[in-house]
């Protein structure tokens, strides 16, 4: 069914990604009204958008609201409701939902399953082994000097990955998971992986069950502190386009996207929504480090799949999409991606996350937020914010995401950082180097 009349949309979630989705969908002449559950202080102020205070895991109440409000399309933002089966639940009640089912989103909620999927379909990924006890993990480490990355199998808010340098660090991470049981059920199974070095790219693709259409490539900054120091987080900033992806695009298409496409065609993968492919582009180093011998070409490896839009990648990507997003999401649910246009501006974007001082361990709550005057080329997406008696206050770990736009990455970056000077809340912190890698990475080509 073609989308030929204005519709009501429900966006599920309340982070920066969902604010960006609401912001973009609200620009569509085909969006009559948008509801966001639970939303945040930013979605509350977005034209056409209303917040509805329902928890993302309360499927029964979400369903009652959607049916009662004659919602035409539900768009699911976060991973938890997907892994909990929200798409199955709402679809069974007759609602049209953008996003994969519980079984399909297993590519995200079980890293062991994702690795097996990649092995079965010949998709390049780092060597790995699976263990389910500290002892078993220690045995693998003793026999496999390549095992340097430790990942809990289940969902862990981006905190369940330990990239280690030594066996001792690997054992410490295993002890954290198995002895201290920091991750509960998600950590009952653990993947030990070879450590890869290279350039990371987040490649998101729309998927309508039959075909994949990639969005522009972007790059996240996972570590908490500048110069990639500190623990992994959900993401401290992102930029788009990640131009160095061009060095590898043909290989990614043939070695990664094509096998996924074949799996869709063969019915080995049933998938509708966004498929987020986290890639590492590695470059074989010169034999014996001989500077006379140029390094080999980039090779793509898949680090992870996510079954949803990335956060903060979405806040960097969507401002560059010139087409209407709503018909594209609709087309995904109709198996009709071939019928819609997906076009991009030639601008660059740089998104910097302003977070609580203690993030990712802690959050900020109830601190007043001041947002001064900002230029048109900067968009302020809200993540952990809420309106209390009309006052905007902090309400989470990642609080705001500022996206600067410009004709070059340097300009986009400069605008985002300049704008941060007009923003404040107690304990506000951000990385100083978001987007710096963009020009460096391009030179590596």
Residue 196 sits in the site that holds ligand AMP (CB under 6 A): yes
Partner from ligand AMP, ligand GLY, none contacting 147, C-beta within 5 to 8 A by type:
none
The CA radius of gyration of the chain, in Å to the nearest whole number, is: 21
CA dihedral 416, 422, 426, 428 (to 10 degrees): 10
Interaction pattern, residues 204-233, with ligand GLY; x per rule: CB under 6 A = ----------------x-------------
Residue 35 in tokens: 């509801």
**If you write DSSP's letter for every residue of 217-236 in order, what string do you get?**
-BEE--EEEGGGEEEE-S-S
Q: What are phi and psi of 358, to 5 degrees?
A: -90, 0
Contact, 108 vs 155, CB < 8 A?
Answer: yes
Residue 161 sits in the site that holds ligand AMP (CB under 6 A): yes
Residue 235 sits in the site that holds ligand GLY (CB under 6 A): yes
The residue (of 136 and 157) whose beta carbon lies closer to ligand GLY is 157
Interaction pattern, residues 392-421, with ligand AMP; x per rule: CB under 6 A = ------------------------------
State in angstroms the smallest separation of the CB of 429 from ligand AMP: 20
Give bridge partners of residue 11 from the DSSP assignment.
36, 75
Interaction pattern, residues 207-236, with ligand AMP; x per rule: CB under 6 A = ---------------x---------x----
Closest by CA position to 204, among listed 108, 85, 82: 108
Residue 238 sits in the site that holds ligand AMP (CB under 6 A): no
Give the position of tokens 């994949």: 212
Map the footprint of ligand AMP across residues 98-157, applying CB under 6 A: 126, 149, 151
Contact, 281 vs 300, CB < 8 A?
Answer: yes
Map the footprint of ligand GLY across residues 333-352, applying CB under 6 A: none
Residue 193 sits in the site that holds ligand GLY (CB under 6 A): no
The residue (of 23 and 301) whose beta carbon lies closer to ligand AMP is 301
- Residue 17 CB coordination number (10 Å): 26
State in angstroms the smallest separation of the CB of 156 from ligand GLY: 11
Residue 303 sits in the site that holds ligand AMP (CB under 6 A): yes
Closest by CA position to 251, among listed 203, 289, 207, 209: 203
Closest by CA position to 319, among listed 342, 340, 347: 347
State in angstroms the smallest separation of the CB of 426 from ligand GLY: 26
C-alpha angle 255/256/258, rounded to 5°?
Answer: 80
Residue 193 sits in the site that holds ligand AMP (CB under 6 A): yes
Largest CA distance in the chain: 69
Contact region for ligand AMP (CB under 6 A) — 13-21, 67-75, 194-202, 400-408?
Answer: 194-202
State in angstroms the smallest separation of the CB of 317 from ligand GLY: 11
Interaction pattern, residues 293-312, with ligand GLY; x per rule: CB under 6 A = -------------x---xx-
Contact, 383 vs 399, CB < 8 A?
Answer: yes
- Asked if residue 360 has a cis previous peptide bond (ω within 30° of 0), the answer is yes
Residue 154 sits in the site that holds ligand GLY (CB under 6 A): no
Contact, 274 vs 309, CB < 8 A?
Answer: yes
- Give residues in contact with ligand AMP (CB under 6 A): 126, 149, 151, 161, 163, 193-196, 200, 222, 232, 278, 303-304
- Give residues in contact with ligand GLY (CB under 6 A): 158, 220, 234-235, 306, 310-311, 313
């Amino acid at each position: 069914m073609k989308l030929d009349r204005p519709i009501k949309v429900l966006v599920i979630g309340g982070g920066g990604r969902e604010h960006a989705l609401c912001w973009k969908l609200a620009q569509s002449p085909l969006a009559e009204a948008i509801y966001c559950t639970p939303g945040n202080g930013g979605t509350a102020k977005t034209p056409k958008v209303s917040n509805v205070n329902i928890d993302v895991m309360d499927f029964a109440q979400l369903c009652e609201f959607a049916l009662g409000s004659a919602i035409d399309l539900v768009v699911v933002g976060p991973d938890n409701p997907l892994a909990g089966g929200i798409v199955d639940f709402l679809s069974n009640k007759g609602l049209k939902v953008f996003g994969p089912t519980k079984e399909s989103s297993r590519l995200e909620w079980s890293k062991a399953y994702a690795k097996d999927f990649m092995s079965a379909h010949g998709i390049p990924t780092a060597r790995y082994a699976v263990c389910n006890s500290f002892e078993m993990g220690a045995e693998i480490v003793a026999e496999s000097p390549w095992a340097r990355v430790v990942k809990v199998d289940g969902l862990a808010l981006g905190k369940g990955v330990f990239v280690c340098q030594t066996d001792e660090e690997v054992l410490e991470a295993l002890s954290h998971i198995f002895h201290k049981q920091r991750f509960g059920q998600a950590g009952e199974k653990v993947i030990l992986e070879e450590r890869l070095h290279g350039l990371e790219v987040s490649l998101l693709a729309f998927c309508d069950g039959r075909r994949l259409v990639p969005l522009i490539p972007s790059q996240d900054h996972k570590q908490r502190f500048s110069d990639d120091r500190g623990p992994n987080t959900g993401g401290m900033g992102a930029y788009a386009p990640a131009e160095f992806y061009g060095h590898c695009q043909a290989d990614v298409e043939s070695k990664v996207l094509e096998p996924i496409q074949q799996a869709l065609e063969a019915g080995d993968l049933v998938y509708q929504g966004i498929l987020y492919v986290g890639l590492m582009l590695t470059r074989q180093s010169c034999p014996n480090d001989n500077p006379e011998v140029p390094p080999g070409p980039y090779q793509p490896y898949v680090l992870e799949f996510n079954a949803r839009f990335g956060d903060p990648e979405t806040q960097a990507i969507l401002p560059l999409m010139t087409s209407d997003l709503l018909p594209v999401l609709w087309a995904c649910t109709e198996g009709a991606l071939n019928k819609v246009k997906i076009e991009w501006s030639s601008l660059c974007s740089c998104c910097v996350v302003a977070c609580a001082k203690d993030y990712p361990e802690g959050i900020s709550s109830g601190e007043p937020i001041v947002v001064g005057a900002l230029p048109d080329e900067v968009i302020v997406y809200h993540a952990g914010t809420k309106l209390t008696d009309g006052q905007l206050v902090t309400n989470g770990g990642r609080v705001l995401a500022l996206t600067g736009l410009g004709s070059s990455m340097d300009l986009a970056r400069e605008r985002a950082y300049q704008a941060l000077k007009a923003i404040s809340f107690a304990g506000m912190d951000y990385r100083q180097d978001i987007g710096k890698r963009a020009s460096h990475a391009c030179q590596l080509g």
